[in-house]
Amino acid sequence: MRAHTSWNLLTLWFIILSFTFGATACGKGSQPKSQGPPTPEVVTLTVEPRQVVLTTELTGRTSAFRVAEIRPQVNGLIQKRLFVEGSDVKAGSLLYQIDPSSFQAALDNAKAALGRAEANLPAVAAKAKRSKQLLAEQVVSQQNYDDTDAALKQAEADVLYWKASVAAAEINLAHTRITAPISGRIGRSEVTEGALVTAYQPVALATIQQMDPIYVDVNQSTTELLRLKQRMEEGRLDQNGRSQNKVKLLLENGSVYPQEGALQFRDVTVEQSTGSVVLRVVFPNPQGLLLPGMFVRAVIQEGVNNQAILIPQQAVSRDPKGNPVVLVVDAESKAQQRLLKLDRAIDDQWLVSSGLAPGDAIVIEGLQKVRPGMAVKVASAAASQTPAPGAKPASTAPAAPEKK
């Protein structure tokens, strides 16, 4: 009986195991075959050339339009100072008064000597005239006539000498009144009343600076200057138009100066210590906001690139060598890598010098999922927007040279 029961249990377990393995085999046979990874989706941007105004930001300092250092032209004591330090003065206004008494006496003495010489001249001239008539009648000798003629010439020379002395004395007397040679703002006075000054002394009595308009001198490296000339020669930059000379100014606190300046000239001498040339810009300064010596940044317009290619900075990556690259979707919907040469950054975009052509579709989103040569699916296509005519682009700074 026990043997029969054991046999029935073994049979039951065999049936259960057979059913389990059969169900598992049937389940595996009904599963579909595995598929490959899905095609990655990307967002592309169609490259289109546009017109871009290129600018460069250069640092520099302000300097006065005109500077006059006030120095005495005669020796003497300062009697009066007739201006307020730090005030605006007009050209010709009296600044200092030197004691004029000795110079007035010298002028009076010269005038007296001139009067004496002029009074003596008619008598000498009449004597010379009579001597000439008597010589013609052979009444006097030739020696007598020569003496009277020489006396006349000496008397005439004395008159001329004392006239020059009077003029010199008048000039010296006028120099006791020290006046402003230019209009502008005068600084502090280096002397007070009672100070003894000498003619053409090395220390200026005061300094006048004309600050409206005012100069802004900025430095441009010769490297950038050569790049600018190269872009012009290659036809990638147009510098025609009067607006080319307009310059904007950024102050030390980051604010924009309300007045536009005009580029006056570019120096022809290179500073050996810095390897740069000086650009001088003239700015109106009616409110006196700009003071000489201030540190500023000038935004200078280089020219207009009529076929500029701009792409978002997010689309550019770097290869192991550090070169900038982008992914371009070709006609077969495959991503291909392109090596770029970048000119500079303009806001959140790169200005491309070479490596892309109009109509290229660059990948701007989904770069992490794509590798060169992979097939991709374009989820949506975007086109670059050309700025409206007359739009004012932001200041741009040249990018560092790319590795070759």
Looking at domain 100-175, what is its CATH homologous superfamily? Answer: Helix hairpin bin (1.10.287.470)
- Check pLDDT > 60 for residue 184: yes
Give φ, ψ of 361 to 5 degrees: -105, 110
pTM for the whole structure: 0.66
Q: If phi over 0 gives left and psi between -120 and 50 gives alpha, with beta otherwise, what is residue 233?
A: alpha
Q: Give the CATH number of domain 72-99+176-203.
A: 2.40.50.100
What distance in Å separates the CA atoms of residue 150 and residue 127, rounded to the nearest whole number?
11
Ranking 198-202, 245-249, 282-286, 396-400 by mean pLDDT, the lowest is 396-400
Domain residue limits, the chain: 46-63+210-398, 72-99+176-203, 100-175
> Using 50, 70 and 90 to split pLDDT, how confident is the model at 397?
very low
Q: What is the pLDDT of residues 224-265, one digit of tens each?
A: 777 777 766 666 555 655 555 788 999 989 899 999 998 887
Percent of residues, the chain, with pLDDT higher than 90: 46
Q: If phi over 0 gives left and psi between -120 and 50 gives alpha, with beta otherwise, what is residue 387?
A: beta
Q: Report the largest interatomic distance among the alpha carbons of the chain, rounded to a whole angstrom.
A: 201
CATH topology of domain 46-63+210-398: Elongation Factor Tu (Ef-tu); domain 3 (2.40.30)
- Check pLDDT > 90 for residue 70: yes
